[in-house]
Amino acid sequence: MYRPNLMVFVLYFSLECICQSQSAIYSLNYIYTALSKTVELPGIHEFTAMGLMNNRSIDYYDSVAKKKIPKQDWMREKLPADYWEKGTQSRKSKEQWFKVNVEILMKRMMHNSTDVHILQWKHGCEIDQQPDGTLKFMKGIDQYSYDGDDFLAFDDATMQWVAPVVQALPTKRKWDGVQILNQYTKGYLEKECVDWLSKFMEYEEKEFSSADSPPKVYAFAKKAQIAGHVRLTCMATGFYPKDVVMHIKKNGVPLTKHDGVLSTGVLPNDDDTYQIRMSVQIPEADKETYECYVNHDALKEPIVEKWDGKCCDCGSVVGGVIAAVIVIIGVLILVVLIVLHRRGKIVIPGLRTT
């Protein structure tokens, strides 16, 4: 397995930004995925490369279109045409590198060409934005996987490649034998990557600083699997940025996982905003006060949405049964009246007898 020219790696990587509560952690990664052969599935290509920022796609390339394209307006506006032209050439070069090395790994693993095999590469960096705005390097990532299993990873601290499987040892020995390339990899992860990440953060901040979106908050309950209980759910949706605080409160006191609270975590919506749900199971007859508490940067003050004590679907089955019983009783009464009429016991106007 040979190594590609590392100089083409400098400009092209992906950005994934994770903003956690009470922290400003950002990460930057490119993810390249190559299949050993084409599969007849829509949207699945023999080679893809994508950049991610704040869980958003910022650029994309595949082996069909063969063109690196921006996926965010600010990427299109801020980066010049030659950035995308050079990026396209770099992606084409990597596509060929992956094609060769998938075949090398298949032989090394003693895999035949009947099945589809996958080689993936991810590299980038993670930083912590300090209160004064400076960026602190946290860690670098440069790792390969084969068929979903770890194959080779760069240890930034020791400047050595780590081979978790014996088949990766030849590549480790070859790459570790060129220390200048390992020094370059360390420098890229700790400096080049951070510089580009800082620039992308600046571009994104200008784009979205005036586009913060506040959450919409809902509190509702549905019938639980356990009889006599309901599952109370708090949902916040449509907010940006990602960082949010949510609690389900009982009589003003936040409930925790020890009280049975479940959370979906923050999930992306289709419109680049986010959503989160928390739920807890409570007795249907519970008369305590429950409310959803949500705080977000786009809010001037937290939202507190009180549950109205109603269950969305608890009465639906009972109501249906009652309606069915009423219909049946009505039909029985009508049959009895007709029988009595025909026997001459009663007279129903307009109904003839034989």
**All structural domains of the chain with their residue ranges:** 6-208, 216-306
Q: What is the pLDDT of residue 257?
A: 93
* Higher per-residue pLDDT: 88 or 354: 88
Lowest mean pLDDT among 9-23, 94-108, 153-167, 254-268: 9-23
- In this predicted structure, the answer to whether residue 91 has a pLDDT above a threshold of 60 is yes
Q: What is the pLDDT of residues 239-269, one digit of tens each?
A: 988 899 999 999 999 999 999 999 999 998 8
> DSSP of 255-301, one letter per residue?
--GGGT-EE---EE-TTS-EEEEEEEEEETT--S-EEEEEEETT-SS
Percent of the chain with pLDDT over 70: 80
- Going 145 to 52 to 91 to 13, the CA torsion angle's sign is negative
Confidence grade of residue 7 (pLDDT, cut at 50, 70, 90): very low
Homologous superfamily in CATH for domain 216-306: Immunoglobulins (2.60.40.10)
Nearest to 54 by CA among 76, 35, 71: 71
Query: What is the DSSP secondary structure assignment for residue 214, as one 8-state letter?
Result: P
Q: What is the pLDDT of residue 117?
A: 96
* Higher per-residue pLDDT: 180 or 323: 180
Q: What is the pLDDT of residue 55?
A: 67
Give the integer Cα–Cα distance in Å for 1 and 146: 13
Phi and psi of 191, rounded to 5°? Answer: -125, -65
Q: What is the pLDDT of residue 319?
A: 47
- In this predicted structure, the answer to whether residue 337 has a pLDDT above a threshold of 50 is yes
- In this predicted structure, the answer to whether residue 345 has a pLDDT above a threshold of 80 is no
Residue 17 in tokens:
């930004």
pTM of the complete model: 0.57
Give the integer Cα–Cα distance in Å for 7 and 189: 13
- In this predicted structure, the answer to whether residue 315 has a pLDDT above a threshold of 70 is no
Confidence grade of residue 72 (pLDDT, cut at 50, 70, 90): confident
What fold characterizes domain 6-208?
Answer: 3.30.500
Q: What is the pLDDT of residue 347?
A: 53
Confidence grade of residue 52 (pLDDT, cut at 50, 70, 90): confident
Phi and psi of 321, rounded to 5°? Answer: -65, -45
* Higher per-residue pLDDT: 26 or 344: 26
Asked if 232 contacts 219 with a C-beta cutoff of 8 angstroms, the reply is yes
Q: What is the pLDDT of residue 90?
A: 96
Query: What is the DSSP secondary structure assignment for residue 190, as one 8-state letter?
Result: I
The end-to-end CA distance of the chain, in Å, is 98
Q: What is the dihedral of CA 308, 310, 311, 316, to 10 degrees?
A: -150
